Chains A and B, each alone.
Chain A
Amino acid sequence: MRKKWDIKLEVLGGLLALLWLAPFYLMFVNSFKSKKEIFMDTISLPAEWNFDNYITAFEELDFMRTLFNSLLITIVSVVLIIVFSAMAAYALSRAKSKLSTVLFFVFVAAMLIPFQSVMIPLVTVFGQFEMLNRGGLIFMYLGFGASLSIFLYHGALNNVSRSLDEAATIDGANRWQVFWYIIFPILKPITVTVAILNIIWIWNDYLLPSLVINTPGSETIPLKMFFFFGEYTKQWHLALAGLTLAIIPVIIFYFIAQREIIKGVSDGAVK
């Protein structure tokens, strides 16, 4: 039976979609207006598409540098999380023993701990070891991100037959080779999910970088955005241009990897 088309439903969907996009529309059109124009009218298109606000916001946000910081921290953290979590999940799933079960349980249980519960000692301890910098931040992301990633990899690995490991071992491959040449490539779908979940989280994270990064010039986008917004609270035209700039990289990412993103997020939540 083919699905009939329901025009009323279609119109309703369209209207809701417009409602959903309205905040982005309002941000976008007002980011081109002058302060006075915003005061007069926040709904209509700008009288002229003036890029002055963007030039100021771009400079004030030190945008290229901030973007680079966000990219650097996100990419390095996510790569480390993938590599080390996949390896750990492999060890835990292949060496079946009480110890593995306990360790797996510890990793999963750690997911229950909200950030605020460890934040204060974490910052003090890392501060004492002069680790409140980008390196320290990446290490912390590994610690916080490992649990969910191991959990997801562990689930996927239980469906990968051990006979593959055995065959490769008989052919003379060592553990390292078996894992990287045979097993890891099979895990690609879950690797995409792990990557996406961690990218979204780390890219948007504000609180942890705000506590860890305190050298000017090392700020990530959310962090810089917070300072920028604080400075321009009463100047919405500049604030909105800055917000639009901050969102652009995410929109590009969404357009490129839309299918993988939605699939990854739904897999991550349901499992």
Chain B
Amino acid sequence: MRTKDLSYWLFLAPVLLALTLVVIVPMLLGVYYSFTSWNGIVTGEFVGLQNYIDLFKDERFLDSLWFTTKFSIVSVILINIIGLSLALLVTGRVRSSKLLRTTFFMPNLIGGLILGFIWQFIFIKVFASVGEIIGMESLQGWLSTTDTGFWGLVILMSWQMAGYIMVIYIAYLEGMPKELLEASEIDGASTFQRFRYIVFPLVAPAFTVSMFLTLSNSFKLYDQNLSLTGGGPYNSTEMVAMEIFKTAFTQNAFAYAQAKAVIFFVIVAIIALVQVYLNKRKEVEM
């Protein structure tokens, strides 16, 4: 097949058309709109960088960006610690390994929206009633404050994503040469030493994959945010994706929301490009 052939273009036509109309054209239009005062109905005039100047003074947007960053850092750390621990557990000396994997992975298959609703029930109702029984004041009123909303989101995401990250770590752990571990055991290395000097260096590439996967998933979070806290109380748990949505569809400030969306794209793209860069560097080293 050559690029001159008709068949080449016929094979490519459907996806090229879809990608162009669904992603490329909207992206270019979006960048253009972000420099106008478009509100969805009237095209609006060209306003230059005004939207971008405004958004850096927009406290609600900056708060959501800060909240998202805090949330992402905490969840990336927790999810990876839990995910790696679960992976070590199920690849260890247990007989129920398969059953455990199935269980830990299960939350990933269910949509974030539905999981958020289930946890809303747990935080609001179950926490309150358990708190009453064991006399713990701190279990009352979850999701009604910024802090409990934050930790609620962190708990939900850790519970959901740890099993996913576990699967990735398992792939690397099981690809590890068994002889190495056995040899070190015979040589008298302790569990900690084995982990530190053999397992850890060999699963290091899994860290890059998992860290960036959780980072970009946390940063782009929308469904769980919507169904668990809805951004409340007083928009204090609103993450960037939701803030953009509300700016666009609640306040009808389309062009302004689009400017925020462009900034959002830049941040997400930087995260991804750093990952690509780190991967490439590692390949060179190897």
Contacts and interface: CB of A to CB of B under 8 A. Distances in A.
A96 B238 CA distance: 47
Query: Binding site of A, secondary structure by majority: helix, strand, loop or mixed?
Result: helix
Contacts of B89: 9, 12-13, 16
B93 A122 contact: no
Contacts of B16: 88, 103
A36 interface: no
Contacts of B244: 116
Nearest to A199: B109
B232 interface: no
Interface string A29-40: 010000000100
A36 to B, nearest CB: 13
A265 B104 CA distance: 14
B241 A116 contact: yes
B233 interface: no
Query: Binding site of B, secondary structure by majority: helix, strand, loop or mixed?
Result: helix
A240 B22 contact: no
Which of B18, B185, B227 has the most CB atoms of chain A within a 10 A radius of its CB?
Answer: B18
B19 A143 contact: yes
B126 A26 contact: yes
A205 B100 CA distance: 27
Nearest to B210: A269
Contact of A125 (B25, B119, B167): B25
A114 B265 contact: yes
B228 to A, nearest CB: 12
Contacts of A1: 182, 185
Contacts of B177: none
B44 interface: no
B40 interface: yes
A62 B117 CA distance: 19
21 contacts: A13-B100, A30-B125, A38-B125, A80-B14, A88-B11, A88-B16, A95-B8, A112-B265, A114-B268, A116-B241, A120-B258, A120-B261, A142-B15, A179-B11, A203-B111, A206-B223, A206-B226, A207-B222, A225-B113, A226-B113, A265-B105
